[in-house]
Amino acid sequence: MAAFNILVLPGDGIGTEVMAEVERLIDWFNGQGIARFEVERGLVGGAAYDAHGEAISEETMAHALASDAVMFGAVGGPKWDGVPYDKRPEAALLRLRKDLGLFANLRPAICYPALADASTLKRELVEGLDILIVRELTGGVYFGEPKEIVDLGNGQKRAVDTQVYQTYEIERIARVAFELARTRRNKVTSSDKKNVMKSGVLWDEVVRDLHRRDYADVQFEHILADNCGMQLVRAPKQFDVIVTDNLFGDMLSDVAAMLTGSLGMLPSASLGAPDEKTGRRKSMYEPVHGSAPDIAGKGIANPIATIASFGMALRYSFGLGEWADKLDVAIANVLDQGLRTRDIMQPGMREVSTTQMGEAIARELAALGG
């Protein structure tokens, strides 16, 4: 039986509540003898700052580097608004992404049939939606230098962020997008702002080149990022895989999330390059939503994004794709049965707590597995 080390970092706010539902599933997989998951837990974000004065300790970073997968909840909250910039909760997330080399961020937006009416868009626009945003995660304006605010001494300040990409960074993320498209509807849309940005000109050149050389069988389109945002709310089903940079990917994936009914539904996987010897990739899995301090501690958060993120771990890190499929079916079935957390509650449905939703999905999975 394959053994894997999982580092669980629940973080802040609803992070701890939704992650408890993933731990329930991990225990179930262990109990069934489907895999052997060794779980380590750590603090991250505000919780780590309160304990050690850092958003993530060196010890936890070392555990992350040694793990097969990190399960990340969410970080941040008003309590830490005043902490120094380099110690803010988000700094931990950015450091994990950077130091683990997690350049490929996969953000699928799937509209479960039962939720087609929960979206703010009309049913016919989102019913059956299944798109995948492939976001570059370790480059661009998030990490480019210089990144600073300079006091000009005349009562003015100047703030600088740097958008920078090299050929290899664009090529490796585009390769991930083309490979994944081949397993889906075989279409890639590349999004940038080449009409105003040099980094966009290079982005487009590199992606087109790679397409011509290695992926001519995949349908390819270019779209400017502003138009992409518009098209996502106008006719989202035209897309299959969208590949884009770190900042545009951040924004476009929030837009895509709302197509699915709630931000509480969107999972993500962040992957590094495969290890030359073992073939294993460093990886981290996290819901796209944040720590939602306004509803933390109430037991009403939607655990589906985090559970579906664990499903992505089953697929991409643990070689358990058939269990990932079963988990997706379990989620769809529970929604079909009318169970809803508050964020996706609709008339005539049954409102359940975070724990009840987690239990129902685990029960459904057990039924499918048996």
Catalytic residue set = 142, 193, 226, 250, 254
Query: Which residues of this protein are in contact with ligand IPM, per CB under 6 A?
Result: 90, 93, 250, 288
Give the distance between the most distant pair of CA atoms in the chain.
Answer: 72
From the CA atom positions of the chain, what is the Rg in Å? Answer: 20
Rounded to whole angstroms, the Cα distance separating 23 from 29 reads 10
Q: How far is the CB of 250 from ligand IPM (least distance, A)?
A: 5
Instruction: Say which entry of ligand IPM, Mn ion, none residue 110 contacts (CB below 5 to 8 A, set by partner kind).
Output: none
Q: Which residue is nearest to Mn ion (CB)?
A: 250
Q: Are 283 and 303 in contact (CB under 8 A)?
A: no
Name the minimum Å distance from CB 355 to ligand IPM: 25
Q: Looking at beta carbons, which residue is closest to ligand IPM?
A: 90
Whole-number Å distance between alpha carbons of 345 and 291? 20
- Please state whether the peptide bond connecting residue 347 to the residue before it is cis, i.e. omega within 30 degrees of 0: no
245 binds, among Mn ion, ligand IPM, none (CB under 5 to 8 A by kind): none
- Nearest CB to ligand IPM, comparing residues 16 and 30: 16
Binding partner of residue 116 among Mn ion, ligand IPM, none, CB under 5 to 8 Å per kind?
none
Q: How far is the CB of 152 from ligand IPM (least distance, A)?
A: 28
Nearer to ligand IPM, 19 or 93 (CB): 93
Closer by beta carbon to Mn ion, 12 or else 250: 250
Structure tokens given for 355:
């724990």
From Mn ion, ligand IPM, none, which one binds at residue 351 (CB under 5 to 8 Å depending on kind)? Answer: none
Tokens describing residue 316 = 């991409």
Which residue number, 312 or 361, has a Cβ lying nearer to Mn ion? 312
Give whichever of 132 and 352 is closer to ligand IPM, judged by the CB atom: 132
Residue 53: DSSP 8-state: S
Q: Whole-number minimum distance, CB 14 to ligand IPM, in Å?
A: 14
CB of 244 to ligand IPM, least distance (A): 13
Q: Which of 286, 14, 240, 226 is nearest to 110 (CA)?
A: 240
Using CA atoms, how far apart are residues 251 and 246, in angstroms rounded to an integer? 9
Question: Residue 93: which of ligand IPM, Mn ion, none does it interact with, CB under 5 to 8 A by kind?
Answer: ligand IPM
Q: Coil, strand or helix: which one is 266?
A: coil
Chain contacts with Mn ion (rule: CB under 5 A): 250
Asked whether the beta carbons of 22 and 361 are under 8 A apart, the reply is no
- 294-315 b/e (C-beta count within 10 Å ≥ 16 → b): ebbeeebbbbbbbbbbbbbbbb
